[in-house]
Amino acid sequence: MFLMFALRRTDVLPVADLGIRMAMKKAYSLDDLPKPAEMEKIAAAWKPWTSVACWYLWRSLDKVG
């Protein structure tokens, strides 16, 4: 989180973050929470904006209304 928000790095994938793991599971219709290697495979297409994609994943879990 420090790299993403304090240092404003655009290509960070927080593989240990439960929110990102849950959002990936939901967005990609996975049976289980993804492991770091699977997360890196999925996120390869997001480079060099992985941090931005992660922000959208976090937001996708927000309840509306």
Catalytic residues: 17
Helix residue spans in the chain (DSSP H): 18-27, 36-43, 50-60
- The residue to which tokens 């240092």 are assigned: 7
Query: What are the angstrom distances between the C-alpha of 63 and each of 32, 59, 60?
Result: 22, 9, 8
